[in-house]
Amino acid sequence: EAGVAQSPRYKIIEKRQSVAFWCNPISGHATLYWYQQILGQGPKLLIQFQNNGVVDDSQLPKDRFSAERLKGVDSTLKIQPAKLEDSAVYLCASSLEDTQYFGPGTRLTVL
Amino acid sequence: GESVGLHLPTLSVQEGDNSIINCAYSNSASDYFIWYKQESGKGPQFIIDIRSNMDKRQGQRVTVLLNKTVKHLSLQIAATQPGDSAVYFCAENLLGGNKLTFGTGTQLKVEL
């Protein structure tokens, strides 16, 4: 069974630029999550989708971050404009029931 | 070797020894707990989970113990191998809504 796919794996941008990350969850998983993981810390939930609807986006900085999952499968996370403190690994996860399975992440560096 | 909670971020053990990684969770209403292993440059990998109606669960070389009285979770790894070197996170599921809250993690180093 294929795992969660993410791209790109690495991205370097300058502050105030925009960036987008893509996630393809495990086939059949209705729930999709985006996490931010700052170096040395555990992942922090940004947004959770159930099919194409948002379940929880309480921790998403909505002034600069946006996410969508229009057809209930793939998802994109966008940051515009990026700040230095957005440097982190952005992880996508999916679940069928309780257990969340993670992708390899996208490492973002904001200069 | 043993680590206490998330305040001791690094645990060093000799190859072949048993490892015990501890975690103190925060919410007494949490009903589902997961241990993840994260190797450098990779996403967290599911190891083992346990529900709040259990106090012990065993997998292959791993055992998770749950003490709800003191809100404590531990991961035991038997016969630790070099491939076990990674950061280990415990995560709690709050309010049954699939919302995981992760701890800071413990770095496990296996010495040959």
Strands (E) located in A1-111: 5-7, 10-13, 19-24, 31-37, 44-50, 53-56, 65-68, 75-79, 88-95, 100-102, 106-110
pLDDT at position B96: 60
Percent of chain A with pLDDT over 70: 99
What is the torsional sign of CA A66, A108, A37, B63?
positive
pLDDT at position A20: 98
CATH of B10-111, one of 3.40.50.150, 2.60.120.10, 2.60.40.10, 3.30.470.10: 2.60.40.10
pLDDT in tens, A96-106: 988 899 999 99
Q: Which two tokens stand for residue B6?
A: 């998330």
Alpha-carbon gap: A63 to the closest alpha carbon of chain B (Å): 23
Interface contacts (A, B; CB < 8 Å): 51
Angstrom distance (rounded) from CA B112 to CA B98: 39
pLDDT at position B1: 43
pLDDT at position B28: 87
pLDDT at B6 over 70: no
Domains of chain B, by residue range, sit at: 10-111
Percent of chain B with pLDDT over 90: 74
Going by pLDDT thresholds of 50, 70 and 90, the confidence category of residue A72 is confident
Instruction: Kindly state the average pLDDT of the residues A32-39.
Output: 95
Domains of chain A, by residue range, sit at: 5-96
pLDDT in tens, B22-69: 999 988 888 999 999 999 999 999 999 999 999 999 999 999 999 999
CB contact under 8 A, A43 and B102: yes
All residues at 6 or more sequence positions from A81 whose CB lies less than 8 Å from its CB, including other chains: A15, A16, A17, A18, A64
**Superfamily (CATH H level) for A5-96:** Immunoglobulins (2.60.40.10)
Q: Which two tokens stand for residue B87?
A: 């950061």
Q: Which of B94, B98, B101, B107 to mutate to test the interface with A (most CBs of A within 10 A)?
A: B98
Instruction: Kindly state the average pLDDT of the residues B81-107.
Output: 87
All residues at 6 or more sequence positions from A3 whose CB lies less than 8 Å from its CB, including other chains: A26, A101, A103
Check if A22 contacts B (Cβ < 8 Å): no
pLDDT at A60 over 60: yes
